[in-house]
Amino acid sequence: MVNGNENFYTDLDTIPIYNFRKCIKGDLKFMFEDKKGLITSLITEKWDKLYNEYCRLTASNETANYYLLIKDISFLESRLLIAPALANNLLHSKESERVDVIKELSEWKLKINVNKNIGDEVAKTLKILNNSKNLLKRKIEEYEAIKSKNENENGVSIQAQCIMINRYLGIKPDIHRDSVIMWLEYFNEISKIKTNKDNE
């Protein structure tokens, strides 16, 4: 369902397949019905739950690894954009204003020891961020390798899937309305039809 207060999708019965595929590619604004919501830790948690449920239903470990890489890349890229500004803010803020900045840095997995010199702690944080550029590069390379392999092996676009659904089931699917669950059911039915044809 779409959460009434926040207007984001909370289950596979309601999120359209189009939105889901956009989220898979790392564009989590498609978790929102109006595509205008703020991407917070709550949204990434909800997305993780949706994606884990999808992996459970489709039972694909390689798919899980692929999307875990997307999540890691998105996190690292966002951290590299946001954390340096937070660290700079920490250096130039009053001691009484530092609590929120330290908390936010902690959410980006960057710990600041308030009992140590703040300048040294910021320098340590910036070094960690610099080192994470190499990690990001490795994850992007791994992601690109899996993506290339998947495109070569199962490069079935969503448009091709629509044609297949129409051919086998006589249904004209709507990628902007049909939920992920509905999409999986279409392909369950197609699989049954193919099995029956093979047994004839």
Per-residue pLDDT of the chain (200 residues; tens, 9 = 90+): 455 446 899 999 999 999 998 998 889 999 999 888 888 888 989 998 998 888 788 765 566 677 778 888 989 999 999 999 999 999 888 888 888 899 999 999 999 998 899 899 999 999 999 999 999 999 898 888 777 665 544 456 888 889 989 998 999 999 999 999 999 999 888 888 877 766 55
Q: How far apart are CA 191 and CA 139, in angstroms?
A: 34
Structure confidence at residue 83 (pLDDT): 93
Segments of the chain assigned E as strands: none
DSSP code for 34: S
Q: Residues near 76 by Cβ (< 8 Å), separated by ≥ 6?
A: 132, 135, 136, 139
Residue 115 buriedness (CB in 10 A; 0-12 / 13-18 / 19+): exposed
For residues 174 and 161, is the Cβ–Cβ distance under 8 A? no
Structure confidence at residue 82 (pLDDT): 92
Cα Dmax for the chain: 78
DSSP code for 118: H
Give the tokens for residue 70.
């997307």
Give the tokens for residue 91.
């250096």
User: Among residues 41, 100, 108, 45, which one has the least CA distance to residue 80?
Assistant: 108
What are the Cα distances from residue 88, in Å, to 38, 78, 91, 130?
23, 16, 5, 15
Structure confidence at residue 60 (pLDDT): 59
Structure confidence at residue 194 (pLDDT): 74
Structure confidence at residue 68 (pLDDT): 79
Q: Angle of helix 118-154 relative to helix 61-92, nearest 10 degrees?
A: 160
| Residues, the chain | 200
Q: Which amino acid is at 165?
A: I
Q: How far apart are CA 50 and CA 14, in angstroms?
A: 11
Structure confidence at residue 4 (pLDDT): 46
